Amino acid sequence: MLPLTGRGAELGRALFDAATLALFEVGSERLVLLPRDSAGLPDGAAEATRAALADGARLVLGPLFREEVEASAAVARSQGVALIGFSSDRTVAGNGVFLLGFTPEAQVARAVRHALAREVKAFGALVPSSVYGDATLAALKRELDEGGGTLVAVERYQSDGSDADRAVRQLARSAGSLQALFLPEGGAVLRQVAPLLPYYDIDPGKIRFIGTGLWEDRMLGREPAMQGAWFAGPQPGGAEAFIARFERAFGRRPHRLAGLGYDAVALAALLAQGGVEALADRGQLLNPSGFEGTDGLFRFLADGTAERGLAVIEIRPNGLQVIDPAPSSFEFAQQ
């Protein structure tokens, strides 16, 4: 269930190609993949789900966007069918919906817990005024409350960065009290904001900058203010084998999220070994030991979100360096 036309079609096609690759590599005669186009729209997702269920589908993989997942899930629930969606918005998880997407809350938790364990406890936050900013700031507050940290100062700025200068100047008033700065930003806006920090005496040599998977960009090492910053994400290089196979099969490098399509079908193939009943058994998705995916270990929690084995990564001039590896098992991660 993917946007093969309309909004998100490029990513939808990458996810579908990866799903097809998984079908050929790990599928069996027990598993039939029924591709359906959601067109990137809630109505399209709902109609496509109805058609798939009418054709006998016992497990829905996808769709991609939050609104699509909501619409598709309503149809799937009406017939007791589980849905493994690709959205990263945890608000649509649960009640038969399992999300494979990388949730920013999990990335925040991993990085902040790493910092707290190293006695980095006094945080400031410079956060965009956006849904993403709201979610990551709430996750930061939750982790600091639970881990004994302190949120000293918070400044928000417009999502396009237009008033970032003002926000940084305000935050700089508290710089002397900070051990860490939380900055959940990426791309062009991050490159706009980052140089402002040392300019206003928020010194990256004294204050540890901490972010999210939006920092998974080797080019950030060229930005002096970002050197030494920490974020949590999949173990670098872990997906290289999948990327190489995808390139051989389709003649292009996959989208960063394409592995979710592969993982969804690989998981369905594993479940299908137990027959149709296993595909329909939601309990099979809650294996506490988890599953090995293209980006490492993952498992579904009771709330429908995916817990992932993430590494803590430091940005350095020559690229990204793992400073705390992803766990090899969830039992190890819980110790």
**Domain assignment of residue 213, given as a range:** 105-233+310-334
CB atoms closer than 10 angstroms to residue 89: 19
Give residue 330's pLDDT: 85
In a shared domain, residues 204 and 327: yes
In a shared domain, residues 195 and 208: yes
In a shared domain, residues 173 and 296: no
In a shared domain, residues 91 and 159: no
In a shared domain, residues 201 and 118: yes
Instruction: Report yes or no on 1 lying in a domain.
Output: no
Q: Over range 312-326, report the average pLDDT.
A: 94
Q: Percentage of the chain with pLDDT > 90?
A: 88
On the 0-12 / 13-18 / 19+ scale of CB atoms within 10 A, 12 is buried
pLDDT of residue 178 exceeding 70, the answer is: yes
In a shared domain, residues 24 and 157: no
pLDDT of residue 295 exceeding 70, the answer is: yes
In a shared domain, residues 201 and 128: yes
In a shared domain, residues 125 and 188: yes
Is 258 in contact with 246 (CB distance < 8 Å)?
Answer: yes
Instruction: Report yes or no on 292 lying in a domain.
Output: yes
Give residue 17's pLDDT: 98
pLDDT of residue 152 exceeding 80, the answer is: yes
CB atoms closer than 10 angstroms to residue 180: 24
Give residue 333's pLDDT: 53
Instruction: Report yes or no on 3 lying in a domain.
Output: no
In a shared domain, residues 154 and 280: no
Q: How many CA atoms lie within 13 A of 11 on its CB side?
A: 15
Which of 92, 93, 89, 164 has its CA nearest to residue 131? Answer: 89
In a shared domain, residues 188 and 73: no
Question: Measured on CA atoms in the order 298, 300, 301, 304, is the torsion positive or negative?
Answer: positive
Instruction: Report yes or no on 30 lying in a domain.
Output: yes
Instruction: Report yes or no on 189 lying in a domain.
Output: yes
pLDDT digits (tens, 9 = 90+) for 78-114: 999 999 999 999 999 999 999 998 999 999 999 999 9
In a shared domain, residues 193 and 152: yes
Asked whether the bond before 104 is cis by omega within 30 degrees of 0, the reply is no
Instruction: Report yes or no on 196 lying in a domain.
Output: yes
pLDDT digits (tens, 9 = 90+) for 182-203: 999 999 999 999 999 999 999 9
* C-alpha span between 316 and 335 (Å, rounded): 29
**What ranges in 79-222 are assigned the alpha helix state H?**
104-117, 131-147, 164-172, 187-193, 196-199
Give residue 57's pLDDT: 94
Give residue 335's pLDDT: 39
Q: Which residue has the higher pLDDT, 333 or 11?
A: 11
Q: In the chain, how many domains are there?
A: 2
In a shared domain, residues 94 and 110: no
State the amino acid at position 13 in one-letter form: R
Question: Measured on CA atoms in the order 273, 274, 275, 279, is the torsion positive or negative?
Answer: negative
Is 156 in contact with 129 (CB distance < 8 Å)?
Answer: yes
Instruction: Report yes or no on 37 lying in a domain.
Output: yes
pLDDT of residue 279 exceeding 90, the answer is: no
* C-alpha span between 118 and 265 (Å, rounded): 39
Instruction: Report yes or no on 2 lying in a domain.
Output: no
Which of 188, 234, 183 has its CA nearest to residue 211? Answer: 183
| Average pLDDT over all residues of the chain | 94
* CATH classification of the domain holding 228: 3.40.50.2300
Whole-model pTM: value is 0.88
